[in-house]
Amino acid sequence: MHPAFSVVFFTTATGAGYGLLALLGVLGPLGFVAPDLWLGFVGMGLALGLIAAGLLSSTGHLGRPERAWRAFSQWRSSWLSREGLASVATFIPAGLFGMGWILLGRLDGWVAAAGVLATVGAIVTVCMTGMIYASLKPIAQWHSPYTLPGYLIFSAMSGCVLVNALLQGFALGSTVLLAASGLLTLLGWGWKLTTWRHNDQLEIATNANTATGLAGGTVRSLEWPHTEENYLLKEMGFRIARKHGAKLRRITQALAFGLPILLLIAACALPWPFAAVLSAFAAIAQFAGMLVERWLFFAEAKHTVMLYYGR
């Protein structure tokens, strides 16, 4: 698949933003986060800013962005439409939660209820995003039991690292949150390695013979159906060299998982403000690494329509 940057940024930014929103929605009412005005302003601003930036970026991949609203009408059959509705609905409790926190200095009562609803909405939206890809049967690398849990794990991982950096910046960090960030990053690393191993060992049953129903021998295409590049070749026919794929996998592991874990461990051993600086670097490195991981997610996916072109 052709890895358009708009979609790569969309899945990375919204995953981190919804993860951060989900954690703030439960940590606040549980008393782990103080009802401080600036903490709420920066935390909710970062979460909603990442979500909004990601959603706006996704429209850049549309041929007619001004018609994006029509996607909301297909919620009965489209995971993309359901994701759009869930994302918009989540802004309502998230907005109430943010206003109660920032303007009223409260994290109890109806503000706490709004926070919990925002958490539920964030989780549901991430599930919808994952199902957009997990439901696509023609792409075996996505239509697997690893895709949806991967979206949830990476969102929780990114969100937890961001929450840790946020609280450390306000000198409110804790060893528990640092440990949780490290463990979730380790879980994400293991899940990514397992997913890659699964995809590398995939044996796709469909080929030119099964597609045409012709048994015996090997069916080959004598020539392409057309002589010029078209939409299918641009979007579905992208191929990445094995050596480049291996290199990008190493970069993903270093930036998204390895370096953040090392920085979080160092933050545990150092006092504030050093712990805050290291936690911020861990969040930045992880976001950059997840951009590379999302690029590979698209680049390494193979659509069965390319059998039509003899690939």
Q: What is the pTM of this model?
A: 0.88
CA separation for the pair 16, 165 (Å, rounded): 13
> Where in the chain are the domains?
5-309
Q: Residues 23, 15: contact at Cβ < 8 Å? A: no
- pLDDT band, very low/low/confident/very high, at 230 (cuts 50, 70, 90): low
Residue 227 has pLDDT above 70, yes or no: no
Categorize the per-residue pLDDT at 29 as very low, low, confident or very high, splitting at 50, 70 and 90: confident
CATH class of 5-309: mainly alpha
141 pLDDT band (50/70/90 cuts)?
Answer: confident
- The larger pLDDT score, comparing residue 27 to residue 69, is at 27
* Cis before 138? omega within 30: no
Confidence of residue 165 (pLDDT cuts 50, 70, 90): very high
What are the DSSP calls for 67-90, one per residue?
A: GGGGGGGGTTT-HHHHHHHHHHHH
Mean per-residue pLDDT over the chain, rounded: 86
pLDDT of residue 271: 87
Fill in the amino acid letter for 43.
G
pLDDT in tens, 69-112: 666 677 777 888 888 889 989 999 999 999 999 998 888 889 99
Q: Is the pLDDT of residue 132 over 80?
A: yes
How far CA 171 is from CA of 39, 271, 273, 276, in Å, comes to 11, 10, 8, 8
Residue 296, C-beta contacts closer than 8 angstroms, at least 6 positions apart: 3, 240, 245, 248, 249, 252
